[in-house]
Amino acid sequence: MNSNEKESLPALGFITVVKSRELGIMGGYLLLNRNGRPVEFHCTAPVRATKSQHILYGPTLEPYIYGEQIARSLTVRATISPKLILTDKSGVMALRPMTNIPMALAEIPKLRKDAKVKDKAEESQNTLSVENGVNEQTSASGQPESDSAALASQADVSEEIEALKGKIVPKFDDSIVIPEHSMIWNGVLLHPDRHFPDDTEKARQFLQNEEIDYDLAEPFDRIREAIYEAQKSAA
Amino acid sequence: MLDNSVLPKISPVRLSQFGEKMNRVVRRGMHIKALTPFSLTIPEPMTASIKIGRPKILVKSFIFGESKTLCNEAKIKGEEGDKLNNASPFNGTASRPTHFTHLQVPVELVKLEDRLKHLLQPPLEQLFSSKELVFPFEPFPYQWQGIGFLYPRSSAILADEMGLGKTMQSITTIRLMIRSGAVKSVLLVCPKPLVTNWKREFDLWAPEIPVEIIEGDQARRKWIWELDNTPVKIANYELLHRDRELYSPREKEFVDENGKVQKFTPPGIKFDLCVLDEAQRIKNQTGSTHKAVKAIHRKRSWALTGTPIENSANDLVSIFEWLSPGYLSPEMKPSQMGRAIGDHILRRTKDKVLTDMPPRLVRDLELEMSPSQREAYMNAEENGVEQINEMGETATIQHVLQLITKLKQICNFDPVTGDSPKMARLAADMEEIAASGQKAIVFSLWTDTIDRMRPMLEQFHPLEYSGRIPHSKRDDVIKRFREDPKHKMILMTYGAGSVGLNLQFCNYVFLFDRWWNPAIEDQAINRAHRIGVKGSVTVSRFLLMGTIEERIQRVLEEKRELFETVLSGADSTRKNEMSKKEIFGLFNFKFAS
């Protein structure tokens, strides 16, 4: 079903993928209402890239599998069209050119111990890292690195997230600088795709109008749990 | 070696003519003659194609809709609510919750869709941080966990140690379930003295939920039982016996129009959820209390108890007979039982979850009897043993228990002189406690002992809380003890004071004599050692050396081990129940018991 034909509700979509050495890559798509309660959930069976895909796609394999294949299949299956889709995997952002729904990459900011940014002079340093979610350093511009090296470096992100699960998330510090085109909501940084500059404003308006006050990073944990549960029952 | 066949063949060229001047050369053109023919065509290269292909993506979908999710929308009320409601989500200094608790999906829930429905619910902490519900205090993480445990379970035991807030956890869960529409009618059953306490706690933790206490004359009680616009009703165990016909009428006979005798069972009152507080009350499966609670029509059953095993593993079997008949059997080994109950029972202890709670310091005050007291004690024991010996095989446990009671009373007070080493020590300790502005609770088995203690403790203005104080006056006694600084101590019997009271303003507890069951003693101690206590709680256990008290102490320690074995699932070859033989074994009887 095309997203244009679907019922558009004030729902928020969350997409993440989980990597398992034994099974492959699995994606999950959770649609929540304004109060953070589940409306729909879709998950994929494990997907494995072939050897030839590995060789030929090279560093672009992840956006291809995560975004163009898994995320696209998930959003096609949904019966409703949300107002905003969030993901904690930069590879999933490859879905954005294929949909008309605004998207943003969500990350939990944490100040590096050795880099407290208080003024513009220090902005040139890398300042943000991610506690839970996308495990990548942001660049001087503040946008997450989207080049192949950065994508390749997060090959086993989900396994690292597994190790982080249950750990206490640090409090958000007001000394964090919000990068251009990005925004912060309830302590979570949202980075829309720079090629879709309107997405920032659309996301802000939606979150503001619908008074979304729940944690925007937490639903990814729910998706991961649900994917494991689905796999457990399939086994 | 070169293969000439694949090389282009280049022929030697002979120039037949060259002009003398450049313009002539251009005009004339070059005349080239090939001696042998050759081709400029390059043969087509060999190619290999590799299909990249698109991975096949299979998607499984679950559509939930809006019904029966955790909580409906509501904004927090009051001053605190205003503050929270005005908090801006744009505020860069907003902090994320430090912990998330999700519903703990029961193993018995098999269907994936049902499991995901629970699993994908928002974390419980969100209810607090998103201002959807009013909470007087932010629950502790282990309390959220308890709520997440109870919510999805149709049969569960919350067996937290006393003082960890079983009441709050169950009320909050009930509140969430009522608000989400998961349940509409709840019956809470508790001991009679705790009814008002439960009502107070509901007012505190679920102020918007209407609660009705089932009380009054029979007509009024019938009316309350049948009220269908009151989501929560509170009944006491004693009342269940009397009202059995009101909530679960027995089969009746009537004569139909053809003159035939017909039988029918009136429908009775159905509850979506029944909660038993102090569920150890139903440990006797043949008892009337057990039968009365089993007759309650209910979809879900929860038991609250800090002591699911008081005497033997059979206590737990009895509770499960109410929760899920046939699930446990007395023949199961403790370790087997421990594994079976794993998903149905949640037990936490203070030392595990309240690591910053002030400690409980237990000291055994080992005292020597006075000479005359020892003489009286020895005489009583010798005479008692002799009498039972004379009975021979006809002697019963009851006879032995009578002897034990008599000896324990002598341990408290010398029957001839009235002297009491325990009393002397208590009075001395109390002087110090009172001087430091502190208060103490003293527990005894008997009201007679309380009567004998009171004159000697007059300077501390002791209050009494025992079975002979009418229920209507008990709340007032507690209020006076809490608020009036002149009352430095309260004298309690285990039966009346060991459950449901919050006396965390006391830092001293004395066990003047000992109960048979360590769980009851723990309950008594936890009146003071519970959430909110400031400073450590000192528990003094009086023990007269060389007496039955010392022997009972050994039994209590063994029972404590049994409790740990079943609830930790560890294996054990120890005997679980104190047998008749063991009770007789407290004395040197001449016959084989």
The domain that holds B172 is classified in CATH as: 3.40.50.10810
Question: Which range in A138-147, B91-100, B249-258, B317-326 is most confidently predicted, on average pLDDT?
Answer: B317-326
pLDDT at B310: 74
B4 pLDDT exceeds 60? no
Query: A187 vs B95: CB contact, 8 Å cut-off?
Result: yes
Question: Nearest-CA neighbor of B143 among B123, B163, B169?
Answer: B169
Residues B317 and B245 in one domain: yes
**Helix axis angle, B548-568 relative to B518-525, nearest 10°?**
90
Is the whole model's pTM more than 0.90, yes or no?
A: no
Tell me the C-alpha to C-alpha distance, in Å, between residue B50 and each of A54, A56, A94, B484, B539.
13, 10, 25, 90, 80
Kindly tell me if the per-residue pLDDT of B214 is higher than 50.
Answer: yes
Question: Does the pLDDT at position B78 exceed 80?
Answer: no
Higher pLDDT among residues B20 and B572, named by residue: B20
- Does B369 lie in the same domain as B339? no
The more confident residue out of A190 and A136 is A190
Across the interface, which of B55, B99, B130 has its CB nearest the CB of A69?
B55
Higher model confidence: residue B270 or residue B255? B270
CB pairs under 8 A between A and B: 146
Percent of chain B with pLDDT over 90: 39
Q: Is residue B194 part of a domain?
A: yes
What's the CATH code of the domain at B526? 3.40.50.300
Report the greatest alpha carbon distance in chain A. 54
The tally of domains found in chain B comes to 3
B405 and B375, same structural domain?
yes
Q: Which residues of chain B are within 8 Å of residue A32 when distances are taken between CB atoms?
A: 122
Check CB contact under 8 Å for B96 and A171: yes
B292 and B440 together in one domain: no
Is the residue at B393 inside a domain?
yes
Which contacts qualify for A232-235: CB closer than 8 Å, 24 or more apart?
A233/B112, A233/B115, A234/A45
Residues in chain A closer than 8 A to B57 (CB atoms) = 44-45, 47, 69-70, 73
Please indicate, yes or no, whether residues B390 and B471 belong to a single structural domain of this protein: yes
The partner residue sitting opposite B55, judged by closest CB among A40, A65, A229, is A65
Statement to judge: residues B275 and B423 lie in one domain: no
Which range among A68-82, B18-32, B525-539 has the greatest average pLDDT? A68-82
Q: Do A213 and B96 touch (CB under 8 A)?
A: no
Q: Note whether B348 and B375 are same-domain residues.
A: no
Pair (B337, B388) in one structural domain: no
Q: How much is the pLDDT for B184?
A: 95
CA distance A217 to A108: 7
The SS3 assignment for A103 reads strand
pLDDT at A113 (0 to 100): 38
The answer on pLDDT for B103 being more than 60 is: yes
Domain span at residue B29?
9-33
Name every chain B residue with its beta carbon within 8 A of the beta carbon of A39.
63-66
Q: At which residue do the structure tokens 């969100």 appear? A: B126
Task: Name chain B contacts of A36, Cβ cutoff 8 Å.
Answer: 122, 126, 130
pLDDT higher than threshold 50 for residue B218:
yes
Which range, of B22-26, B377-381, B564-568, B586-590, averages the lowest pLDDT? B22-26
Q: What is the DSSP string of B42-84?
A: PPPPP------------EEEEE--STT-S-------HHHHHHH
User: Closest Cα of chain A to B427: distance in Å?
Assistant: 50
Residues B322 and B454 in one domain: no
pLDDT digits (tens, 9 = 90+) for A193-232: 999 989 999 999 999 999 898 889 999 999 999 999 999 8
For residues B265 and B388, membership in a common domain is answered with: no
Q: Are strands A80-81 and A7-8 parallel, antiparallel or unpaired?
A: parallel
Domain final position from B304, B333, B353: B353
How far CA A163 is from CA of A151, B462, B495, in Å, comes to 20, 57, 50
Give, rounded to a whole angstrom, the gap between the first and last alpha carbons of chain A: 29
Query: Could you give the C-alpha distances from A203 to A81, A139, A197, A209, B374, in angstroms and in order?
Result: 14, 22, 11, 10, 84
Mean pLDDT, chain B, whole residue set? 82
A18-75 residue pLDDT tens? 998 888 999 999 999 988 989 999 999 999 988 888 888 999 999 999 999 999 999 9
In a domain, B60, yes or no: no
User: What's the mean pLDDT when you consider all of chain A?
Assistant: 75
Contacts of B105 in chain A (CB under 8 A): 229
β-pairing, A24-32 with A38-44?
antiparallel
Pull the structure tokens for residue B544: 């007269």
Picking from B353, B382, B406, the residue at the C-terminal end of a domain is B353
Select from B353, B371, B404 the last residue of a domain.
Answer: B353
Q: In the numeric block, which tokens belong to residue B238?
A: 């004693």
Strands B155-158 and B297-304 turn out to be: parallel
Q: Return the domain boundaries, chain A.
A: 7-234
- Whose tokens are 């308890």? That residue is B146
B553 contacts chain A (CB < 8 A): no
Q: What is the DSSP code string of B174-225?
A: HHHHHHHTS-S-EEEEE-GGGHHHHHHHHHHH-TTS-EEE--SSHHHHHHHH
Please report whether residue B104 resides in a domain.
no
Tell me: do B318 and B461 sit in the same domain.
no
Residue B54 domain flag? no
Write the pLDDT tens digit of every residue in A167-191.
Answer: 333 334 445 566 778 888 888 899 9
The encoded tokens of residue A177 equal 């600088």
B99 vs A: CB within 8 A: yes
Residues B414 and B338 in one domain: no
